Structure 1
Amino acid sequence: MTHPSPDTWESAGHRRSVLWVVSLATLVMMFDGYDLVVYGTVLPILVDDPSQLGPLSAGHAGVLGSYALIGVMIGALLAGAVGDFVGRRRMMLINIAWFSIGMGLAALATDLTMFGLMRLFTGIGIGGLVATAIATVGDFAPAGKRNLYNAIVCSGVPIGGVLASLLAIVLRDAIGWRGMFWIGALPLITLLPLALVKLPESPRWLLARGRTARAAEVSARTGIPLPTADDTTTDTDTGKVGFAALATHQYRWGTLLLGMMSFVALLLSYGLNTWLPKIMENAGFDAKGSLSFLLVLNGGAVVGGLLASKVADSTGPQRVITTTFFLAALAMVLLTLGAPLPVLLIAVAVAGVGTIGTQVLIYGFVSGYYSTAARGAGVAWCAGFGRLGGILGPVIGGVLLAGGVSSQSAFYVFAVLAMIGGIVTFFVRNPSHSRTSPSASGLSGGGGVAPSTASHSLQ
């Protein structure tokens, strides 16, 4: 069988099937973004009105905001532990149902304890979805479009954030905070039936698990070409799959650094999405004005993340991620200078690119860094370990504000963390198998494999 080049389609069916996978994965990620932001949009109501769920201080609100992120970390790590064994499709379907039910149960909460437990439950489903969706796209995406398609899928996160911000501005006063959470439960009756019909299992994963006949059947039905034999071998022929592969020599150091990058990016993303409206309210903006900053933050991440991904497909993601981290640090500093509103909005948009947009790029980087046998676990590791940063983000913001620290000082703390993220990114090196795709090029800082000449054995 001949195989398509990195930038072409083997058939109309191949193109159609991949676009369905990308579309479904993007919708899944939108609800991750909706969940990320919806708590921040309703937080002022919960803090200001004790009759909703009970008295809620700023410090307690930060801890409560971290419950969903603890669940996301658990869910991502569980998906990494079992997803490379049981399949991408099955994990996706289970977790769509899981997080939808969790959102509905959170809407029914009658006190802070129940609300926190349901946020934890919801987070487990979302964590499984994030890890599985990104690994799935890594399996299906053509090599020369991997960063772009990953960016499209991961841009679902800030798009979901934009949706949550817009719905809060338009509907929150009418439907209340419970209505905002009921919206998050809609995938159970919309997205799940569509995924049951349109989401195929990955032929690449099936081959990696030795299910050759099933892989051939899926390939014939969907038009997705079967990869070459060495596309599906396990790392260095050790037979190691999943998390065990991450501990091998060629991945050990890179896995640690990629996890640290994700930790910083998600700490910044969740810290800003949780506390930016409250910080801006404290700075004198009214409720709707403060929510508008969330809209700009996530909108900047969508546009900037897609543009940056195009550059990453040409030059390699490492240089781009280093740059966006440092842009985030610069934007945080600008937010402390008392600039006029247009400059503040630009700075917030750039901060969105450098935080949420950077995490989009990191996921693309990760999915190209690992081979098929380790991809699900590698993505799950970064999503799971990174959520430790996401857990700390709301807590740090809550502690700073509860302690009377000024918003300027809080932004300086975030700026320093962004600079640390950029420095860590610089030290990631190519895994020792070094058969890189365009999505993994540029790993060595300046000496990556050129996209035009790289082989594609990791795809």
Structure 2
Amino acid sequence: MPSSPSSTARVGRLALLVVALCWLAVLFDGLDMFIYGSVLPHMLAERALGITPDQAGDLGSYATFGMLIGALTAGTVADRIGRKKLMVGCVALFSLASGLCAIANGIAVFGLGRTLAGIGLGGLLPTAISMVSDYAPRGRGALTIGLLMTAHHTGGILSAYVALWVVEPLGWRAAFWVCVAPLLFVPVLAKFLPESLGFLLAKGRTEEAHALARRYAVELPPAKPDDGAPAPSRWASLAHLFRGGEWIQTLLYWIASFGGLLLVYGVATWLPTLMRGEGYELGSALTFVVLFNLGGIVGMLIAGRAADRFGAPRISAIWFALTAVGVFLLSVRMPLALTFTVVFLTGVFLNSAQTMIYATVSIRSAPQSRATAVGWTSGMGRFGAVFGPWLGGQLLAANKGDWGFTAFALAGLSSMVFIGLAAWRGARRPAGDGAGRALIGAH
């Protein structure tokens, strides 16, 4: 029986509520993630906490290491306590951790704050993606997730303005105090965000699910048919990725993801500092952060459509090649307007190139191991996210900051080669699954 207009309107309002709350949470996630890179030029100029370039790289890696822990444990924790509680806890954690950074009296305490913030950041994004997927209108899942991902880059844009408007008159600590403000959002999230109906049903909490459905006047998700076949275990699904010659393709995906996230987080952390090293004023360097993230928003909105038409593997390889060209060009002194254009286009390609790796893995993997394949590809890539900020710091410490863009460009070229090889080996499987559905968090 088709839904009535009033029922459809209620479902739409509920989806809008969930997406809006998750979008704001991910906005704060992006602000907290990018704020360190935005204020880093100030911290280095002032020798805040006695920080040196190599230590700055280490501190940047602490947050990404925390994100690795958060991302790998989010699913297990959410299965135990629920997605809503985990989201609320993650927002509270990275907000309080920013307060620890603001009052830090040494590098050790500051590093602890960034690590704890990273755990919250890493746990929030996949949980928010799962939440909006549950409540997305039918046939609009990819669009909804793509919209959610724009919040992360909007947070990056906001971080540049916080650094520009707050740090100059009040100092770098004020920027981290701004990142404590999302604590005010925690009660709102706790009160108005509904728990996932799918989670409640999966945990056998049917009475709560029915009560929630009655409250919002929506239908419960249909029960999945049980064909009697046991679901493969996590380790069985992982073993499937290494059977026969599959291990070669699996490793190629992992290496490509490593290079992609090295590039994403290396550039995100060091872009303002490297641009200042190229002779640009601080205001221009922070404008680059804004343009880079604007490009990320545009890229997220067009990547899935391009991949649906031309194939995710092809788009991923081309996007990484264009990213490498753009990143390398940033090491060349150009007219300011041209540099702005290059930064914007680099943001378009860089941020969605990694997403297309996940799309490729999703399309080329067998159904019974698809979730495991994407999860482990993302997890292995997180090691690149840890390595990228560290690498930038080591180059600056060795007075080779001008090599930073070259090193990141080489990472983009390597990902282009490895995702191309992996896709070529997996070409025997038809790519008809639709890349848009794999827009599940390039970060």
Gaps of 5+ in 1: 430-442, 455-459
Q: How does 1:89-168 map to 2 (within 5 A)?
A: 89-142=84-137, 144-168=139-163
Whether 1:247 aligns to 2:238 is: yes
How many angstroms does 1:251 deviate by? 9.9
* Residues 1:353 and 1:83: Cα distance change in structure 2 (over 3 Å): same
Aligned partner of 2:199 in structure 1 is 205
Gaps of 5+ in 2: 438-443
AA aligned to 1:247 is L
* Residues 1:259 and 1:141: Cα distance change in structure 2 (over 3 Å): farther
Q: How does 1:213-292 map to 2 (within 5 A)?
A: 213-230=207-224, 237-240=229-232, 243-244=234-235, 246-247=237-238, 249=240, 260-292=255-287
Q: 2:38 aligns with which of 31, 38, 41?
A: 41
* Residues 1:222 and 1:309: Cα distance change in structure 2 (over 3 Å): farther
Aligned partner of 2:382 in structure 1 is 387
Aligned partner of 2:407 in structure 1 is 413
State whether residues 219 and 225 of structure 1, in contact with CA within 8 Å, keep that contact through their aligned partners in structure 2.
yes
Alignment size in residue pairs: 431
AA aligned to 1:340 is P
* Residues 1:346 and 1:193: Cα distance change in structure 2 (over 3 Å): same
Q: 1:30 aligns with which of 14, 27, 30?
A: 27
AA aligned to 2:163 is A
Whether 1:346 aligns to 2:341 is: yes
How many angstroms does 1:376 deviate by? 8.6
State whether residues 95 and 128 of structure 1, in contact with CA within 8 Å, keep that contact through their aligned partners in structure 2.
yes
* Residues 1:263 and 1:133: Cα distance change in structure 2 (over 3 Å): farther
Aligned partner of 1:438 in structure 2 is none
Aligned CA RMSD, in angstroms, stands at: 3.7
State whether residues 363 and 433 of structure 2, in contact with CA within 8 Å, keep that contact through their aligned partners in structure 1.
no
Q: What is the TM-score normalised by the length of structure 2? A: 0.84
The worse-fitting range, judged by mean Cα deviation, of 251-260 and 214-223 is: 251-260
AA aligned to 2:33 is L
Report the Cα distance in structure 1 between the residues aligned to 2:372 and 2:24, rounded to whole angstroms.
22
Aligned partner of 1:435 in structure 2 is none
Residues 289-340 of structure 1 show CA distances to partners (whole Å, capped at 9, x for unaligned) of: 2222112111111122223244456666554434322221221233344432
Report the Cα distance in structure 2 between the residues aligned to 1:315 and 1:202, rounded to whole angstroms.
34
Aligned partner of 1:321 in structure 2 is 316
Q: 1:182 aligns with which of 177, 180, 183?
A: 177
AA aligned to 2:38 is T
Q: What is the TM-score normalised by the length of structure 1? A: 0.81
Residues 234-278 of structure 1 show CA distances to partners (whole Å, capped at 9, x for unaligned) of: 9x943357x557526379968766655543332212211221112
* Residues 1:245 and 1:151: Cα distance change in structure 2 (over 3 Å): farther
Report the Cα distance in structure 1 between the residues aligned to 2:321 and 2:51, rounded to whole angstroms.
35
* Residues 1:336 and 1:105: Cα distance change in structure 2 (over 3 Å): closer
Aligned partner of 1:402 in structure 2 is 397
How many angstroms does 1:10 deviate by? 6.3
State whether residues 33 and 161 of structure 1, in contact with CA within 8 Å, keep that contact through their aligned partners in structure 2.
yes
* Residues 1:142 and 1:367: Cα distance change in structure 2 (over 3 Å): farther
How many angstroms does 1:360 deviate by? 5.3
Report the Cα distance in structure 1 between the residues aligned to 2:359 and 2:219, rounded to whole angstroms.
22
Report the Cα distance in structure 1 between the residues aligned to 2:7 and 2:250, rounded to whole angstroms.
33
Aligned partner of 2:441 in structure 1 is none
AA aligned to 2:188 is L
AA aligned to 1:412 is T
Report the Cα distance in structure 2 between the residues aligned to 1:338 and 1:416, rounded to whole angstroms.
19
State whether residues 14 and 216 of structure 2, in contact with CA within 8 Å, keep that contact through their aligned partners in structure 1.
yes
The worse-fitting range, judged by mean Cα deviation, of 163-172 and 143-152 is: 143-152
